[in-house]
Amino acid sequence: MLTLYFAPGSCALASLIALEESGLSFDAKKVNTRENEQRSEAYLKINPKGRVPALATERGVLTENTAILAYIAQIAPAAKLGPIDDPFEFARLQAFNSYISSTVHVNHAHRPRGYRWADDAAALEAMKAKVPQTMTESFELIEASLFQGPWVMGDAYTVADPYLFVMTGWLPSDGVDPSVFPRVSEHYGRMLERPAVQRALAREKV
């Protein structure tokens, strides 16, 4: 049995959606980050990084969305969540998800989690002030070049789509109007219509 550890409102929603899409049997366990449960002794035994998501498998625990999303696509081939038989296309998918993880998510994190990079109050405020610009620049690139449409990779839905969905949902809190990116905004609307997305969002509320 797969067990996904996630926190509502976190990037782990991408992996939760992918599992819902996969048709695989899994359990989902909430980590209460508001009470710092991710730093508890019990959770650190699961994921020493003290973050979500973490996916417990029969072979061990996987962390990081990029790894978990790729793993889900590979172990659920019938769901067709990635071009797993085409090394080049799968690498393209991984390149997109890596950009989300290494750049877009980090841009966002400078607003709520600037303490990871600085302690000085002025530096923290400067980082927060920069977030609307960096998120806008990232989404300008996605809108113009990286997003193929109607899904991230083109005609086929993949595990890149939940990851983009999560980041798009964070734009308003980062001071960015999603409507200035019409293709990405339409993608967000299509995602909301998917039953798997609706189930994942419902799990966050329970």
Rounded mean pLDDT of 181-202? 98
What would the pLDDT profile of 54-76 be if each residue is shown by its tens digit?
Answer: 999 999 999 999 999 999 999 99
Residue 29: predicted pLDDT: 98
Residue 51: predicted pLDDT: 97
pTM: 0.97
Residue 90: predicted pLDDT: 98
Helix (H, G, I), strand (E, B) or coil at 62: strand
Residue % of the chain over a pLDDT of 90: 99
Rounded mean pLDDT of 161-172? 98
Render the burial of 17-42: b for 16+ CB within 10 Å, e for the rest. Answer: bbbbbbeeebebebbebeeebbeeee
The answer to whether 205 and 198 are in contact (CB under 8 A) is: no
**What is the pLDDT confidence band of residue 137, given thresholds at 50, 70 and 90?**
very high
Rounded mean pLDDT of 17-45? 97
What would the pLDDT profile of 90-124 be if each residue is shown by its tens digit?
Answer: 999 999 999 999 999 999 999 999 999 999 999 99
How is domain 87-194 classified at the CATH fold level?
A: Glutathione S-transferase Yfyf (Class Pi); Chain A, domain 2 (1.20.1050)
How is domain 2-80+198-205 classified at the CATH fold level?
A: Glutaredoxin (3.40.30)
Range(s) within the chain of domains with CATH label 3.40.30.10: 2-80+198-205
Tokens of 57: 């498998």
Assess whether pLDDT exceeds 90 at residue 134: yes
Residue 206: predicted pLDDT: 82
Range(s) within the chain of domains with CATH label 1.20.1050.10: 87-194
For residues 28 and 11, what is the distance between their CA atoms, to the nearest angstrom? 14
For residues 149 and 128, what is the distance between their CA atoms, to the nearest angstrom? 31
